[in-house]
Structure formats: C-alpha cells, structure tokens
Amino acid sequence: MVVALDEDKVVALLNRILEQELAGVVRYTHYSFLVFGFGRIPIVAWLREQATESLMHAQQAGEMITHLGAYPSLTIGPLLDSHQTDIGTILRESLESEGQALALYKELLALVENRSVMLEEYARQMIHAEEMHAGEVDKMLRRPGEVAAFRPGAGPG
Ligand SMILES: [Fe+2]
C-alpha cells in the first residue's frame, strides 16, 4: 500500500527548516565577531565553519522546496541577542538552537517515512549531521577529564 505524501505539510516544515538554518548562519556569524582571548583563532574558525554549514543546510532545504514545486520562504527564524560573549554561553545557546533544528528534521522524517525515499533519505542524513554536530558541541561543553555527557541521558540535541 502506498501512503500519500502530505506535500503541503512537508513544504511548511521545510520552510521552517530553511528559516531555522538561515537564522543559524546569522547567529554563528554574529558570535564569531565576539570571541576574544587566547582561544580566539580556532574558535572563530569553528564558528565560521558552522555558519557555512548552516548555509549549506538552508540551501539544501530550499532546493527540496523548489523540487516540490513550492515557494521558498524569505523569512528568517527567531534570533535572540543575549549579549553574551562567554564561550560557554555561546555554545549552550548554539546547542539549544541546533536542538530545535534537529527536532524539525525528526518531525520531517516522521512525515515522509515510507512515503518518499528521497525525502526520507534527506531527513535521515540531516538528523545524522545535526546529531553529530550536537555531540561535538556537547564535548566542547565538558570540562577536561570529564567523560559524562553535558546533557546526560537526553542524548545530544
Ligand atoms: Fe543545520
């Protein structure tokens, strides 16, 4: 039995993903300006890499939207300027927003599973990428010598 794909719902979700990823581009770029101290060079480079990755994710979401013959959003997801320049706070905020993106990709997977191989593969790849990313941030938030996850039990994201 072929289960029909609810394209309107899929497009709405893809647009939310696009907006969330675009917000990530702005957020990481903004944070990258605010890193001072000895660790500046590698941390700025890492934040800029994350901005580029968010842009790639936004572009992938936009391409999926037009693949489905729909119109991509020109809106950007919510951004909060907490005026924090502490690296730990920046990383915790990043983990929070990445968690929101991950939740959207999981919602997408539930919507497309067994309905579209292409969209299912896409959603799974993105969940893989976002979970790996959240895991990396989690490791950065641990104190040296601490093996336990920053978010114990909850799993990354
Ligand atoms: Fe992403």
User: 153 C-alpha vs ligand 1 centroid, how far in Å?
Assistant: 22
User: 38 C-alpha vs ligand 1 centroid, how far in Å?
Assistant: 28
Residue of 83 and 9 predicted with greater confidence: 9
pTM of the model: 0.89
Q: Which amino acid is at 5?
A: L
User: 98 C-alpha vs ligand 1 centroid, how far in Å?
Assistant: 7
Residues 6+ apart with CB under 8 A from 32: 44, 47, 48, 51
Tell me the C-alpha distance between 128 and 105, whole Å. Answer: 10
In this predicted structure, the answer to whether residue 1 has a pLDDT above a threshold of 60 is: no
User: 103 C-alpha vs ligand 1 centroid, how far in Å?
Assistant: 11
